[in-house]
Amino acid sequence: MSVPLLDLARIPPDRLAVEFPDGSLTYGALHERAAALAAELAGFERVAVWMSPRVDTAVRVAAVALAGAPLVPLNPGAAERELEHVLRDSDPGIVLVSPDEGAPSGVMERARSPRPGHRPRGDDEVGLIVYTSGTTGPPKGVEMRRSAMASNMDALASAWEWTADDVVCQALPLFHAYGLLVGLLGPLRFGNTLIHTGRFSPEALVEPLLSRATILLAVPTMYHRLLDAAEEDPRVAGALRAPRILGSGAGGMPQAEHERLQRVAGRRVLDRYGMTETLVSTATRPADEHRPGFSGRPLPGVELRLTHDDGSVITESDSETIGEIEVRGPNLFLGYLGNEEATRAAFRDGWFRTGDLAVRAPDGAIRIMGRRGTDLINSGGYRIGAGEVESALLDHSAVSEAAVLAEPDPDLGERIVAWVALREGFTATDQELMDHVGSLLARHKRPRRIVFVDALPRNTMGKVLKRELRADAQRVAD
């Protein structure tokens, strides 16, 4: 018997379920359409869905969940080569996409050539296959159990005091675990109304936030742009004050942005931390002490520890000692699709090695410091987290964006280099920014070089693509 991710029949049929730019559906209409499609999908081993922000996507995702088939979400913004890899690797029996959604020919060909291949599925079998961003090689298919998806959504709902009466507003990409699980399946599981504005813009969010929404789901880049707009438009500031929860994810929000949100709207964001392989691991609760930069405590049932480079467990909870986050619990993925070697390498004694670096507060809350191999800098014998330096740079009034990496140094081993984008109309010198960091942090944490850029490269979730900055730096060096 499968874990019921969705039970649409129990929700009042006249309640509004989803609202997208192209239309809306009540729960009665959603259930009717999804159940009919689910009956057609019962014979398919895996089902891929083209994840456009539209009503049909909500129907398809609900249908796949009702059918009990593993869902493979496809990124509408992905390059053809990436889509080919995902389709070849996951080999779905069918692709759900409409001709007017702009999918490339390879995707459409699979949509026209369904291949049934049904087998019985148990409670702990795969319900979702989401592909990683591919920063260290070809994207890997993360196999997530239905039981993990259900329990993780319920754990976050408990932490955030999320109820059936909430109205969720978002503009997140639906192919990503955050937008899909927290932003789409979560509201449908809890019987909420979901308002998706399609493409993100501060203007599109104002009306639903002021009139109906009780939960806003966004990422730090979106909050940055909302705050820019709020400083010019009182309606945007009012919209940020309206929901009872401002949820964030896909990277911690810098301290300077937390402070700006407090100043502009008198609000705070509830940060959370997770990965594709772990879903949501930690979350800030509404009643928690406000500590900008921290991503909260582990969710119920989730265990989290920090480890040294040699694998030994860090016992200190001093908000200073940096270690790699390792996680275990019901939220973990089953494995990487068709890649047992990578799956084995990702675990140590039953704990998933995230590759993320953090410090831990006495109450168990964590602060993300960056990625191992990218964001841990060993300079002059000191271990420095890039995230701490980035937050200090963003505290400067002229700085709009900042990213920090290490580069080789004959004396220090590694030295800190920062890429900085300035706010429109502001100026700052490299020495001024170095001194600013030195005034906030220990002197050994100051950048030794500043590179000014118009904007930082980012992916669809707003995360900075540091590999592109590193590649640019290497081309300059060569």
- Per DSSP, the residues of 85-123 read HHHHHH--SEEE--GGG---HHHHHHHTS---------T
CA distance 415 to 409: 6
Q: What is the pLDDT of residue 338?
A: 92
223 φψ region: left (φ > 0), alpha (ψ -120 to 50), beta (else): alpha
Residues 235-245: tens digit of each pLDDT: 999 999 999 99
Residue environment code for 34-60, b if the CB has 16+ CB neighbours within 10 A, otherwise e: beebbeebebbbbbbbbbbbbbbbbbb
Q: What is the pLDDT of residue 42?
A: 82
The answer to whether 144 touches 130, Cβ cutoff 8 Å, is yes
CA distance 146 to 123: 7
Nearest to 103, CA basis, from 132, 88, 128, 83: 83
Q: What is the pLDDT of residue 380?
A: 64
pLDDT for 424 beyond 60: yes
The answer to whether 90 touches 46, Cβ cutoff 8 Å, is yes
Residues 174-194: tens digit of each pLDDT: 998 999 999 999 999 999 999
CATH class as words, domain 376-477: alpha beta
CA distance 94 to 45: 9
Q: What is the pLDDT of residue 474?
A: 54
pLDDT for 476 beyond 60: no
pLDDT for 478 beyond 50: no
Sequence-ordered strand ranges (E) for 99-192: 126-131, 141-145, 167-170
pLDDT for 437 beyond 60: yes
Q: What is the pLDDT of residue 189?
A: 97
Regarding beta strands 366-371 and 351-360, do their DSSP bridges make them parallel or antiparallel, or are they unpaired?
antiparallel
**Domain regions of the chain by residue span:** 8-186, 376-477
Q: What is the pLDDT of residue 119?
A: 58
pLDDT for 30 beyond 90: yes
Longest Cα–Cα distance of the chain, Å, equals 69
pTM for this entry:
0.81
User: If you search the block for the tokens 């730019």, which residue do you land on?
Assistant: 21
Q: What is the pLDDT of residue 381?
A: 60
What is the arithmetic mean of pLDDT over 148-152?
94
Position 316 confidence tier, pLDDT thresholds 50, 70, 90 = confident
pLDDT for 168 beyond 70: yes
> Which structure tokens are listed for 141?
């298919």
Mean pLDDT, the chain, rounded, equals 88
Q: What is the pLDDT of residue 90?
A: 94
Q: 63 vs 380, which has greater pLDDT?
A: 63
Position 330 confidence tier, pLDDT thresholds 50, 70, 90 = very high
Q: What is the torsional sign of CA 327, 330, 333, 335?
A: positive
Which CATH number fits the domain 8-186, given the four candidates 3.90.25.10, 3.30.2130.30, 3.40.50.12780, 2.30.250.10? 3.40.50.12780
Q: What is the pLDDT of residue 471?
A: 64
CA distance 468 to 449: 18
